[in-house]
Amino acid sequence: MSSKPKIAFYGIWPEMAGYLKTKMKGLNPFISSDKISEDNLNPNIEILAVFVESPLTSKIIEQLSHLKMIATMSTGFDHIDLATTKKLNIPVCNVPTYGENTVAEHTMALILGLTRKLFPSVKRVKEGLYDFHGLRGVDLKNKTLGVIGTGHIGAHVIKMATGFEMNIVAYDAFPNKDLADKLGFTYTTLDKLLAQSDIITLHTPLLKTTHHLINQKNIKKIKKGAYLINTARGALIDPEALVWALQHNQIAGAGLDVLEDENLIQNHEELIGCTQYERKTTLLNNIIIDHPNTIVTPHNAFNSTEALQRIIDTTVENIKSFIDGKTINTITEPKK
């Protein structure tokens, strides 16, 4: 690897570009505010940095014949075709821990927004009606929070929920007993968690084993009137099951920062070429967005000033280390 490889950053918002340029001083990267696509890639790129909204398909990766490393500016990596990077021996480096507090704080915002009926309350006052009737919420104190996935973000949510004096149960494919002892929560099975929790929050990566983790079968096992929160990945929840649960009052509401096939919600033109399943999901997503008992934010949980600086800091560190011959923060293939 030369000391001055061709580095490209895609999807960099103008307000971040200045900070990024300072951190990358001397390496002269190409910086684009656009998402990467087959139309705008430069085949000479050796190091490529992208956010999650730039899907790195096998087609894109294979067109970059000089590509030596991918730096994803995210924790999740399900937007990258790992079979192709593995085949071509291209390391993928991520930002393992930029936002455990950031995403956990957004999770709490969704929980409080739903349980205190924040959005209908604000709407009513803005419309000139200063009246609390019909806006009664519920306490968090003494309620049970079910945390699915007790990694960096899940653990942080547990710490915060403890401050609200909630009882906590958790489910994880790889339970961490020391963490449970330290933070004072108990592990249980997924079914028991669904049956016991007043609020359920998802914090697992999207893997084959977690795809539709909440599905048509087990959504019926959720305690009637519980709230469902997802700030991890949309496809952890089957959208058809979610619509059913909302329409049959199986759940009191849902707070979602992510939706399955969320990239299609705004891109109506792309719908023409997509599968029937994706079209159906998009329709279901619109029903979910319009439902009065949901709060949907546009994959915004990571988006704080401090988190973005941490994302850039680690991404630059990943790239500089790679150039120096030491690959760090390589994503490891999940065990399950």
Residues that bind ligand NAD (CB under 6 A): 75-76, 99, 103, 149-154, 172-174, 203-207, 209-210, 231-233, 257-258, 299, 301-302, 336
Q: How far is the CB of 332 from ligand NAD (least distance, A)?
A: 10
The nearer residue to ligand NAD, 223 or 299, going by C-beta atoms, is: 299
H-only helix segments in the chain: 14-23, 58-63, 82-87, 100-115, 118-126, 152-163, 177-183, 190-196, 239-247, 276-290, 305-323
Q: How far is the CB of 66 from ligand NAD (least distance, A)?
A: 29
Contact between 36 and 71 (Cβ < 8 Å): no
Q: In what order do the strands lie in the sheet with 251-256?
A: 186-187, 167-171, 144-148, 199-202, 226-230, 251-256, 294-296
The nearer residue to ligand NAD, 42 or 97, going by C-beta atoms, is: 97
299 counts as catalytic: yes
Half-sphere exposure of 17 (CA within 13 A, CB side): 15
212 counts as catalytic: no
> Which of 100, 156, 233, 260 is the catalytic position?
233
> Quick one: how far is CA 147 from the chain centroid?
15
The nearer residue to ligand NAD, 126 or 336, going by C-beta atoms, is: 336
> Which of 62, 299, 317, 333 is the catalytic position?
299
Q: How far is the CB of 328 from ligand NAD (least distance, A)?
A: 17
What burial class does residue 126 get, using C-beta atoms within 10 Å of its C-beta: 0-12 exposed, 13-18 middle, 19+ buried? exposed
The nearer residue to ligand NAD, 51 or 322, going by C-beta atoms, is: 51
Q: How far is the CB of 20 from ligand NAD (least distance, A)?
A: 19
156 counts as catalytic: no
Question: Which residue numbers are catalytic?
Answer: 233, 262, 299
